[in-house]
Amino acid sequence: MQPAISVLGMGRMGAALAHALIKAGHPTTVWNRTPARAAPLAAAGAEVAASVRNAVAASQITIVNVSDYQATQGLLRDKEVAGALAGKLIIELTSGTPDGAREAHGWAQRQGARYLDGAILATPDFIGTEAGTLLVSGPSGVFEEGRAVLAALGGNVQFIGEDPGLANALDSAVLALMWGALFGTLQAIAVARAEAIDLGVVAKQWTATAPVIDGLVSDLIRRSADKRYAADSETLSSVSPHYGAFRHLVELMEARGIDRTITDGYEAIFRRAIDAGHLHDDFASMSLFMKRPA
């Protein structure tokens, strides 16, 4: 018999989590602020709790997935609910900051509850599939307790470390990578539109260029880890050719009236690195200039 699980929050993600738990055979209790959103889960076999306290009392493990930590606090930091959490495991899968997770872990400990913090690196359609990725941090013994339940939510559950803030920290780092690509794509679309290039042609070039970019990204991470900033025989590209090509993009954007908010940020970082003498160093030397200037 699988352990009973309660899930708070039946938004897009919370509903997907609850469906995956039901599918894996866990007796599942759900709660949502607007009860109507829990109805499809009831049809799928979940119990619908009338209150947060009842939901928490129904299981040894409560998964929370609401919009943000403030919403979680509004639900859990109630005397009755907190009392019902004593001796139980909270798995917080709402997105948040590393410090938010650390604070929540401390609060849970003071209530006599165990706590894991998870970041979901997947859209709801990936939940319950082999490709579903969840990053989890918190005490390793507690992770072992939650491991089987987490495995029902995705085939790629990764324990990131004992510090409860680490899952959110890594999540933010990966999202920074993602938004780099997505905002870069917005710029590519703007340039293509300004120059009447069919977006299908841009899509084709992305497919052709993606392996090159993938190689550059992996190389940048590797060289930064090794602090190999000076150009050497393995350098793929120094700062100089990047900056030259970047200036062509800026000129084109300026001429076509394309917003330069993003490129102005790139320019500032290029300038700091070049002014500090890194023009002919490996592009990885740019990683030294990502702190806010004093």
Chain contacts with ligand NAD (rule: CB under 6 A) = 9-14, 32-34, 65-67, 71, 74-75, 94-95, 120, 123-124
**Residue 63 burial (10 A CB sphere; 0-12, 13-18, 19+):** buried
Residue 91 vs 120, nearer CB to ligand NAD: 120
Residue 146 vs 223, nearer CB to ligand NAD: 146
In the complex, least distance from residue 279 CB atom to ligand NAD, rounded to whole angstroms: 40
In the complex, least distance from residue 51 CB atom to ligand NAD, rounded to whole angstroms: 12
In the complex, least distance from residue 275 CB atom to ligand NAD, rounded to whole angstroms: 38
Residue 78 vs 163, nearer CB to ligand NAD: 78
The amino acid sitting at 2 is: Q
Measure Cα distances from 32 to 55, 64, 67, 235, 256 in Å.
10, 10, 12, 53, 49
Contact 136, 167 (CB under 8 A): yes
Residue 29 vs 32, nearer CB to ligand NAD: 32
In the complex, least distance from residue 74 CB atom to ligand NAD, rounded to whole angstroms: 5
Residue 166 vs 253, nearer CB to ligand NAD: 166
In the complex, least distance from residue 30 CB atom to ligand NAD, rounded to whole angstroms: 10
In the complex, least distance from residue 32 CB atom to ligand NAD, rounded to whole angstroms: 5
Contacts of 126 by beta carbon, 8 Å cutoff, 6+ apart: 132, 133, 154
Q: Is 161 left (phi over 0), alpha (psi -120 to 50) or beta?
A: left
In the complex, least distance from residue 162 CB atom to ligand NAD, rounded to whole angstroms: 22
Residue 67 vs 218, nearer CB to ligand NAD: 67
In the complex, least distance from residue 81 CB atom to ligand NAD, rounded to whole angstroms: 12
Report how far residue 28's alpha carbon sits from residue 49's, in angstroms, rounded to the nearest whole number.
10
Residue 116 vs 286, nearer CB to ligand NAD: 116
Measure Cα distances from 106 to 71, 101, 111 in Å.
17, 9, 9
Contact 14, 65 (CB under 8 A): yes
Q: Closest residue to ligand NAD, Cβ-based?
A: 11
